[in-house]
Amino acid sequence: MSNHADPTIPLNMPATPRKVNRWRKWRPYLIIAPAFLLTIGIMYPFLTAVWYSFTNYSLTRPTFEFIAFKNYRIILQDPSFWNAVSVTVRYALGAVAVEMLLGLGIALLLNQEHWLAKALRYVLIFPLMISPVIGTLIWKLMMSPSVGILNYYLSKIGIKDFPWAASQKTAMMSVVLVDVWIFTPFVGLLLLAGLRSLPRAPYEAATLDGGSAWFTFKTLTLPMLMPYMMVCLMFRLIDSLKMFDIIYAMTGGGPGDSLMNFSLQAYFNGFLYLNLAYGLAYMIILWLIVYIISQVLSAYWGKAQKRAVGQ
């Protein structure tokens, strides 16, 4: 007696005589229905968003009409758009690069067995739990020219009046700094978990065969850690491309438009200039980019997993 014809019975379940329950056939669908409905509830706004981006919907106009790709054509010729591209990419690359390196470093450091490393593992997570807005507030206070502690210490080593987020030149690094502060623990924790789950056998073999620490790192640790690094990369890259909270809290997009990334442009266009459709066009483009990246990185992650096991 096989149960495979009945999709409600898990595949590996032994064939046992059971009471026939007509209701059972619908069970998985019923169970999942609430979650599914919620998802529909989210998909609906999303689809509306796509639709609106093809119109000139604006809160300043009483009616709106379908204008197809006009919004997109305007955007691609808008210098603000290309500025947004530059800002978004620089922010994401800067933040992610530093977080991955720093995170890997701290994971390696905390993977050791001495008391300091073991104790501080528990404290690693604190910045990550703080809301990005609150975290930015904290750093904004530290960077403040009047009350801030940072400039106080900087002046002691000869750097006077560092402008932090007030100057176009240093604003980017200021927000990236906050991002790094909050999210390095994410990378660190993930990679630490990964390190601690690596098999011992290859390492023992390597110590028998001799070989420098760098060599074991390069040929053993790194490839086996790759799947974890891909997960980190995917999450951090996508999140930093979308980042809104930190930049908005820090300078609201300024000074000038030096920090106007995609999300901020969408916010400005949608809520300040009230040109909702145009703002949506920005977000659709961002979403497309994020979608493509998540697909590409997922594929790489799959490959990295295979390589790690094949090692």
Positions 253 through 282 that interact with other proteins (CB under 8 A): 262-263, 266-267, 270-271, 276, 279-280
Whether the Cβ atoms of residue 136 and residue 178 lie closer than 8 Å to each other: yes
Under the criterion CB under 8 A, does residue 39 sit at the interface with other proteins? yes
Residue closer to other proteins, measured from CB, 41 or 158: 41
Residue among 133, 154, 166, 206 that touches other proteins (CB under 8 A): 133
Residue among 132, 171, 224, 253 that touches other proteins (CB under 8 A): 132
Under the criterion CB under 8 A, does residue 62 sit at the interface with other proteins? no
- Apex CA 273: angle with CA 267 and CA 277, to 5°? 70
Token pair, residue 184, equals: 């390095």
Under the criterion CB under 8 A, does residue 304 sit at the interface with other proteins? no
Whether the Cβ atoms of residue 158 and residue 77 lie closer than 8 Å to each other: no
Burial of 257 per CB tally in 10 Å (0-12, 13-18, 19+): middle
Under the criterion CB under 8 A, does residue 22 sit at the interface with other proteins? no
Size of the site for other proteins (CB under 8 A): 97
Nearest to 246, CA basis, from 184, 188, 177, 293: 177
Q: What is the DSSP letter of 194?
A: H
CA pair distance 136, 257, nearest whole angstrom: 19
CB of 154 to other proteins, least distance (A): 12
Residue among 82, 86, 131, 199 that touches other proteins (CB under 8 A): 131
The residues in 136-165 that bind other proteins, with binding defined as CB under 8 A, are: 137-142, 144, 146-147, 149, 152
